[in-house]
Structure 1
């Protein structure tokens, strides 16, 4: 049986980076308000372990997004399919990512996709053109993580 997985991405501001990637991929931010309320109310989670952002409560230092068509647990809000979890870490990013996300444009043009992502806060690094083998852009998200668009 195949194993479930999620991709965990280190960040300095998990909520902000989750917001960027939710908009970039058209994913849904996970809503864990009911779980957090239950845990705080039962005394199992101290209020200091929770932050509020734009009317939603988050576990301090973490935020996740999920594919809108994939199943999720209604109580916990946790996705049970394609999912990205952003966690805050104290150290700075110092080298190129060893793992990265490739964003595929669907039916639109590559130039339109790159422009939309730049509007969300991405920056262009370089264009790769391998002729008939393909053309794509390497970009950085707002916290410096490299990703590709094709």
Structure 2
């Protein structure tokens, strides 16, 4: 039986970088506000463990995004399929990513995808053209994590 998984990404500001990746991948930011309200009312979390982001309560230092077509728990807001969890860590990135995300688009031109990602806050690093083996851009998200954009 296959296992469930999520990709956890260290961050400087989890809610903000989750917003970037949700827009980049056309995913949805998970909304844990109903769960947080229940946990606050029961005394299981304290106000200093939550913050407000875009008018919703979220866990301090954490944010997640999920694929819009995958199921999710309506009480907790937690996705039950493809998802990315961002967690704040005190240290910055010190070496090249050993794992990265490739964003593939079936529509349009590579230049259009790269331009859209730049508008969201990504930065171009370098273009790679391997002819029939592929053509892509290596980019960085707003926190400096590398990823690739390709058609």
**Partner residue in 2 for 1:24:** 24
**Partner residue in 2 for 1:66:** 66
**Partner residue in 1 for 2:147:** 147
Deviations 1:37-89 (A, max 9, x none): 00000001011100001101110000000000000001000000000000000
Q: Normalising by the residue count of structure 1, what TM-score does the alignment of the two structures yield?
A: 0.99
Runs of 4+ in structure 1 over 4 Å off: none
Deviations 1:3-33 (A, max 9, x none): 0000000000001100000000010000111
Q: Normalising by the residue count of structure 2, what TM-score does the alignment of the two structures yield?
A: 0.98
**Partner residue in 2 for 1:122:** 122
Partners in 2 of 1:2 and 1:54 — Cα distance? 36
Q: How does 1:2-81 map to 2 (within 5 A)?
A: 2-81=2-81
Stretches of structure 1 lacking an aligned partner (at least 5 in a row): none
Partners in 2 of 1:59 and 1:50 — Cα distance? 4
**Partner residue in 2 for 1:87:** 87
Aligned positions, number: 150
**3-state SS in 2 of match to 1:18:** helix
- Aligned-pair distance for 1:132? 1.3
